[in-house]
Amino acid sequence: MVEGYLQKGWVKFPLDPVLARWVRHALPVARAAVSDPKHSEWHDCEGTWFIGVDAMENDGEGRVNGSPPLAGQAVEFINRHLGAQVLHKGQISVIYPGYPQPRRGEGEAAFRYRARRDAAHVDGLRPSGPERRRRVEEPHAWILGIPLSEASPDAAPLVLWEGSHHRLGRAFADAFSAHPAEAHATLDITDAYQATRREVFESCPRIELHGCPGEAYLLHRHLLHGVAPWAANATADRDGRMIAYFRPEFPEGLARWLQSD
């Protein structure tokens, strides 16, 4: 299974009763976070996306609302093959019917990209400044997605470009190797990132990844991924299409992030 993960850049884990039990503890907490006024800033895209960064009230081992630590097949896979990390508060990402609409302050081109290219991105490379230049701001180790609600496969599923982590990882490594180590922390990788992303759209298969509560998927940190629009006839339970994400950062930082494994 680890060979498939390294080759394709993702792996999905089947229904797991241990994880399903964790979801039952997490779901009421996630619901409360969505309606908590302290998180109101996270409602964006004209009410069609609750972004919910750090909105889950879990501890470093994933305990939430009286649950045991986050466990099950996905966590065992991570611990065995990728290395355990202390968990941050999880993101609670919820998509509602009508997505996408523009984010606050989002320009026409960026919105078009959201609608036509699933807002495809590599996590941790956030744009900054008026030129939207990108640096590696968060050297994530891996990305674990845990569906919390029932939704149809066309209800704004996660989208990924299979194998894109190879091309992007090489492009990042090349960009960094051309500069001395002192320059790495602030290195602007926008050009390499955007050029490689265009190649990925041409050459890597786009896959829509659906999941039910009790299932989980794991993405390589260099994998290009995004969110598909909510299809016209898509359905979900009253929570919308709700997913918890964990993407802890490497304590070793950027040098470790640049490696391919």
Using the minimum distance from each CB to Fe ion, give the nearer residue, 67 or 196: 196
Using the minimum distance from each CB to Fe ion, give the nearer residue, 16 or 123: 123
Phi-psi region of 122 (alpha: psi -120 to 50; beta: other; left: phi over 0): beta
Task: Provide, rounded to whole angstroms, the least separation between the CB of residue 209 and Fe ion.
Answer: 12
Nearest-CB residue for Fe ion = 123
Task: Provide, rounded to whole angstroms, the least separation between the CB of residue 241 and Fe ion.
Answer: 15
Task: Provide, rounded to whole angstroms, the least separation between the CB of residue 164 and Fe ion.
Answer: 13
Task: Provide, rounded to whole angstroms, the least separation between the CB of residue 89 and Fe ion.
Answer: 16
Using the minimum distance from each CB to Fe ion, give the nearer residue, 123 or 215: 123
Beta carbons within 8 Å of 176's beta carbon, 6+ residues apart: 184, 187, 189, 254, 258
Task: Provide, rounded to whole angstroms, the least separation between the CB of residue 54 and Fe ion.
Answer: 14
Stretch that binds Fe ion, among 62-70, 117-125, 163-171, 215-223 (CB under 5 A): 117-125
Using the minimum distance from each CB to Fe ion, give the nearer residue, 77 or 246: 246
Task: Provide, rounded to whole angstroms, the least separation between the CB of residue 91 and Fe ion.
Answer: 9
Using the minimum distance from each CB to Fe ion, give the nearer residue, 118 or 123: 123
Stretch that binds Fe ion, among 19-27, 102-110, 121-129, 186-194 (CB under 5 A): 121-129
Stretch that binds Fe ion, among 91-99, 115-123, 149-157, 165-173 (CB under 5 A): 115-123
Using CB under 5 A as the binding rule, whether residue 123 contacts Fe ion is answered as yes
Using the minimum distance from each CB to Fe ion, give the nearer residue, 67 or 219: 219
Task: Provide the binding-site residues for Fe ion, judged by CB under 5 A.
Answer: 123
